Structure 1
Amino acid sequence: MSTHAPAPPDVSRAAVAAVDLVKVYGSGDTAVRALDGVTVGFDRARFTAIMGPSGSGKSTLMHCLAGLDTATSGRVLLGGAELTGRSDRTLTRVRRERVGFVFQSFNLLPQLTAAQNITLPLDLAGRTPDRDLLAHLVGVLGLADRLGHRPSELSGGQQQRVALARALVSRPEVVFADEPTGNLDSHSGAEVLSFLRDSVRDLGQTIVMVTHDPVAAAYADRAVLLADGRIAGDIDGPDRGSVTEALHALAARA
């Protein structure tokens, strides 16, 4: 484990990158600068946690990287392709075809079965699921006997596992996970984090996760720290102790 100042991202290697990214909400005296010149890259086939105090800009950064929000200035690149300035229609297509999402609140459609929720992004894109990948995900996530159930008939952990399968079944370039264990007990949370980590190893998946939890960050290959809308540190091979120490240091500087 090592902590260091982040180097400028190599856009050619990054699955997704931000370059001098600025995001301002509001105007005039009430303006809030949520991101203040952030430059960071996230390598392919790695699991990265984005961490920082409340209000540090971590969720805003993820939303801009994922095309869910537009930056005030700067650049966002997905696989080297520019997302900045793209139309809403283009960004919708990018999110559907190249990005996967896992949210704290699961975001499953209540009227659909687990199986239908899993394949929904592919159905919307007019694509046929890779049956081998679908079977692998269903098996690894223990969902084989739950595919005909609707979300109301599933536990929170089972719902999040459905959301994980949905995020990965389209083979996205990046999966963005926003506090994916926030609504789960510790056992279910550990299962979700283990699966995310294993998907990097077994499927070559790229994972970018926003979390406030040092235990969750310890599952990642890397932790990027934000404070006041700026990159404040970069930890290779994070563990609970190193992340907690870094977060305490940031709090002391505030």
Structure 2
Amino acid sequence: MTTSREQAGVPVAVANDLVRSYGHGQNAVQALAGVSAEFRRGQFTAIMGPSGSGKSTFLQCMAGLDTVTSGTVRIGEVDITSLGRTELTRLRRDRLGFVFQSFNLLPMLTAEENIQLTGRLGGRDADAGWFDTIVDALGLRGRLRHRPAEMSGGQQQRVAVARALLTRPEVLFADEPTGNLDSRSGAEVLGFLRTAVDSYRQTVVMVTHDPAAAAYADRVLFLADGRIVGELAEPTSDLVHARMRKLEG
């Protein structure tokens, strides 16, 4: 069977010399200090680093959720750092997917309505076959009429993953997607992200602090002091843990 590593093709997202500073003058803090990276189709990348390393800032800049001080981010052929607010909002809605630690579901909507929300905001009807594929793969068929308060944390996060994938995004960005979940629910969500990469050639970029979560990825990028300081291919939990111990020590 061909693995996602062998299938990975041209870059679908590229960061070039990203700098992100907050504040001015002597009070300025540099969260990113010249980060460059490529993310390819059908590839699962985990981003790790000590607290304050810039990993979440990097993800937010890549996803167009934060502005950069200098450098560029390209999604496909589009330099998103040059887009106006309206164009950027449209690109995020139409071409990117997001999964956050806090689920970000609308409490008054059912699971099905939450899953369909992004497409409907863009004036598009979901592909019924693709909707069924995602819902069944995530085990949500019996929960479609439930509202978030009627679901467990793991079920809510699976709804958030389904919502992110329904529009077939070029990149799915996940920021600590298992941070609010128990180990079993977290493993279910990570297992589906792995399946999305292997079976649907989805590109996933995930920030995590958990070596066990990072082991689901094809590679791990390590950040420290706003710079990429290492990369690990075919990670295992033990290898990631050892690398993090060195960085934190």
**CA RMSD, aligned part only?**
0.9
**3-state SS of the aligned residue for 1:23?**
strand
Counterpart code for 2:101: Q
- Which consecutive unaligned segments of at least 5 residues does structure 1 have? 1-11
Give how far 1:200 is off: 0.5
Counterpart code for 2:57: T
Counterpart code for 1:128: D
Q: Residue 112 of structure 2 aligns with which residue? A: 115
Counterpart code for 1:41: E
Give deviations 1:75-125, integer Å, cap 9, x for gaps.
Answer: 100013211121111110011000000000000000111000000000000
> TM (normalized to structure 1)?
0.93
Q: Residue 201 of structure 2 aligns with which residue? A: 204
Give deviations 1:171-197, integer Å, cap 9, x for gaps.
Answer: 000000000000000000000000000
Structure 1 residue runs of 4+, over 6 Å off? Answer: none
Q: Residue 28 of structure 1 aligns with which residue? A: 25
**3-state SS of the aligned residue for 1:145?**
helix
- Which consecutive unaligned segments of at least 5 residues does structure 2 have? 1-8
> TM (normalized to structure 2)?
0.95
Conservation of the 8 A alpha-carbon contact between 1:16 and 1:41: yes
- C-alpha distance in 2 between matches for 1:106 and 1:125: 20
Give deviations 1:29-79, integer Å, cap 9, x for gaps.
Answer: 211100000011111111100000000000000000000011000010001
**Equivalent residue in structure 2 for 1:164, among 161, 164, 177:** 161
Give deviations 1:116-167, integer Å, cap 9, x for gaps.
Answer: 0000000000011011110011111111111011101110000000001000
Conservation of the 8 A alpha-carbon contact between 1:51 and 1:58: yes
Counterpart code for 2:48: M
Q: Residue 3 of structure 1 aligns with which residue? A: none
Q: Which runs of structure 2 are paired with 1:110-149 in the superposition (5 Å)?
A: 110-149=107-146
**Equivalent residue in structure 1 for 2:93, among 91, 96, 103:** 96
Q: Residue 36 of structure 2 aligns with which residue? A: 39
**Equivalent residue in structure 1 for 2:225, among 215, 223, 228:** 228
Percent identity between matched residues is 59
